[in-house]
Structures are given as structure tokens and as C-alpha cells.
Amino acid sequence: MKNRNLKKWLSAALACTMAAGLLAGCGGGSDEATTNEDGEVVIEFGIHVANPQEQESVTYNIVQAFNEKYDGQYQVDFRAADTETHSKNMQLAAADGTLPEIFWIEASEAPEYSESGLLLDVSDFLSENPEIQEALGGMENAFTDDNGVYGLPYQSNVQGFFYNKAVFDEAGVAYPTADTTWDEFLEMVNSLKAAGVTPIAIGSKNSNYAMWEFNTFLERYGWTENIDSILDGSEKFNNEDLVKCYEKLKALADAGAFPENIATIEYFDAKQLFDSGEAAMFGSGQWDCAEFDENIGENIGFWWGPKFTDSEYNQDTGMRVPSAPLGVSAAVGEDDQVKEAVYAFLQFYYGEEAATMSYEGSIFPAANYDGLTASDTQYAMNAMLNEINLGYESPASAPDLTVSSAVQTALYDSMFGVMQGTYEPAAALDQIDAALANSN
């Protein structure tokens, strides 16, 4: 189940580490810690955005707060690039032994790094910091294998449908609730369409991953219960449950739920439709909360999605899940000074002070502490908390993060293929089965 291109890069990295000793002879490790002119131990944080200050402001502020607290002792610097470039850069860095000490990893790629011996097992960090392990609430289990705990969640992702109450009011349509069924949802979509608004803003150009609202669909049709059997070959993606799920995507497409130009607009275009009031709903996560507070304000709502009466699986499920992990380069374990600096940063990043900063920035931190709450004017975050407070179960990982990168890509392509009318449901699922077979 490996992405073969990624496997090639990581095999090269592993060969390098075996030949020269865990990254040291390949340029990723040294006998002495890197220090700057102020004598601070410098560690690099590889992040998946080109401008952390603008695009990941909460993380940027946490790093600045850490640097201020440990001024003269430690310094964290970003190695920044957009997500696609970052992923390629990390593969190249893995191959030549120049991985940053800490780096964000695509969840579908992280197991490959671990299997190749490129990630440090941080089990000892958790055992030394039991209050952090308790605050993580088991989220670290999503990034655990035979090598130990190979990553910690970057954030806690809350995913689903945002909706604009003002658009619903103008169309004379009732808001969705926790008990809204699929049939009621489809009726809602038809009413919104008849009122002249786009029911669900979504785009697939250059953003085939942007299907977060449909992770709950997959989960409510038994993804967690069946994925292991599918991946070991005893079952198929093209099964009765997922066909029913994909038939719902087709029904939405047939009802005109999506923009007519879904194939030629991307995620940010679709979000603009929602921000401007041209669309009633938009699938996203907590990373858009601050923007929706600014553009939609108190009219923002949030919803897990409809319940399906033709599914035998638990319908009281939501999607508060660990995001992609932060990994620590295995080379860190070879240098006590660097390891001390990295662990000090992890203590800060997953500590209560940083968690408070996350809430202030409308981001759910991976580590949760008593007393954290959103302010009255953090409308989007409070709307999410209303759904979280229902107490629904969430899977250990979002469905799209439980498969290899090759299968993940096929999953996205298949879902958008149904939405765009390219595939019938069963044929779309066949595409994922083919990707799985080809990646073994």
C-alpha cells in the first residue's frame, strides 16, 4: 500500500542512513548541535505553508512566544514552502539526510517515513510529560506503529459543513440540526436551489482534497469498521455500504447542489462563494473560523451532516480528529543538545499556554486543557463547539487519512468524479480498488 514515488525517495534515505549511521554521514546529523552567534541551539521547523506569519498565524505566534521565552538558549526557525513543494522538499531532504529537526508530514506519507527509520520515537517524551499525554487524549495513537509513536498531531481538526443562517433565512429554509436525515437534507438542497443560491460551495481544480464535509458521510457508512479488511484485500472499496454512500454524492449532483463550474474552480474560489453569500453551505474546518467570523459573523453555523436511515452503522459520529502529524527527525536522537531543545519546544507547543493561544486564534489545539473556551465574538468556533458538545464519537483518524497517498488521491478523484458526473458510484469505487492493487 505504498506510494511508489515516495517509497523510492525514502528507500534512498534509508540506504544513506544504513551506510553512514543514522543520518549523520548523510548531512542530517552532527556530533555537535547547531548554534547561532548568540549561542542558542537552533532547530528547524519544516512547515507546509510559504508564509507562516500570514497563513498559519497561530503556529507562527506560538513559535515566537517560545523563542522569546527561551531567548539565549533555544531558537526555532521555519523552513517554509507551500504544501506540495514542502512534501517534495521533505522527500529530497530525507534522501540526502537534511530533514529539519521537526516537520509537518502528510498523514498518508508519515508511515513511510517511520518504516524507513527516519522518525524519532517520541514515546519517552510522552512518558516524561504525562500531563501532555493526558491532554492529547489518545490522539497520538493515530501515529503509532511497531516503531513507537512516530508523530504528534499538529492540531485537532474539526471538519464538517459551515452554513450561513442569513442565506437560509432569505430562502425560507430551516437550519440543519443534529437529527436532520438524508431525505430532509436533500429536500433542503432542493429548496435552496429553487431560491437561486448554490446549496454547497465546492471546487475540485487544484484542490481535490477539499472534501472534508464528506468524511462524516464515509464514517457513517462504516469506514472505520471496514477499512482494515479492505486494505488487507479481504474486502473491496466497491462494497454495498460505500456504494450507498457514493449514491448520495450522485443524488446531490443530480439535484444541482454544487456549483456548475465545480471542475474549474478551486477551494478558495468556492470559499469566496460562501463568504459572499452566494452559497448556503461550505465544507471546511476550524482553520477557516477567523475568516468566517470576519465575513459572516453571528450568522455562521456548523453541522456534522445528515443521518442515513439506510446505514446500519453508528450515526452519532462527528469529525474531531488529529490533523497531520509533526514528526521529529531520527537524527535528533543522536545529539543530546538538539534533543533537549526539540523536547523543550514540544513541551511548549503542546502545553497549556500554547493551547490558550490556539483558542484565541480560533484553532483547536491537539492538546486540550480544562477551562479553554472561545470568546463571545468567536462565532464560528462557538458553532463548532455546539456540535462537539453533542458528545458524538469521532474516529481515531479522518477516513481520508487512513490510506496511503496513492489510494488517498484515488479516493479524492473518485468522489469528485461522481460529483462532476464522470463516474457512476460503483465505477468510482473501482478506481480506488485499482489504485490499492497497483500500490501494493
User: Running DSSP on this structure, what letter comes out for residue 324?
Assistant: S
DSSP-assigned states of every residue in 271-301? HHHHHTTSEEEEEEEGGGHHHHHHHTGGGEE
Q: What angle do CA 411, 403, 185 make, to 5 degrees?
A: 45
Residue ranges of domains in the chain, CATH in brackets: 4-153+324-365 (3.40.190.10), 157-320+382-439 (3.40.190.10)
Measured CA to CA in angstroms, residue 279 lies from 147, 164, 169, 208 at distances of 46, 8, 13, 19
Tell me, what amino acid is at 42?
V
Backbone φ/ψ region at 424: left (φ over 0), alpha (ψ -120 to 50), beta:
beta
The vertex-5 CA angle with 145 and 399, nearest 5°, equals: 45
- Given 3-state DSSP classes, what are the helix, strand and coil percentages for the chain, each rounded to the nearest 5? 50, 15, 35
Question: What residues are paired with 157 via a beta bridge?
Answer: 321
pTM score: 0.86
C-alpha cell at 255: 439535484
Residue 74 near residue 349 (C-beta atoms within 8 A): no
Give the pLDDT of the chain (440 residues) as one tens digit per residue.
Answer: 344 455 555 555 554 543 444 444 343 443 356 888 888 999 999 999 999 999 999 999 999 999 999 999 999 999 999 988 999 999 999 999 999 999 999 988 999 999 999 999 999 999 999 999 999 999 999 999 999 999 999 999 999 999 999 999 999 999 999 999 999 999 999 999 999 999 999 999 876 678 999 999 999 999 999 999 999 999 999 999 999 999 999 999 999 999 999 999 999 999 999 999 999 999 999 999 999 999 999 999 999 999 999 999 999 999 999 999 999 999 999 999 999 999 999 999 999 999 999 999 999 999 999 999 999 999 999 999 999 999 999 999 999 999 988 999 999 999 999 999 999 999 999 999 999 999 87
**Dist CA 280 CA 261 (whole Å):** 16
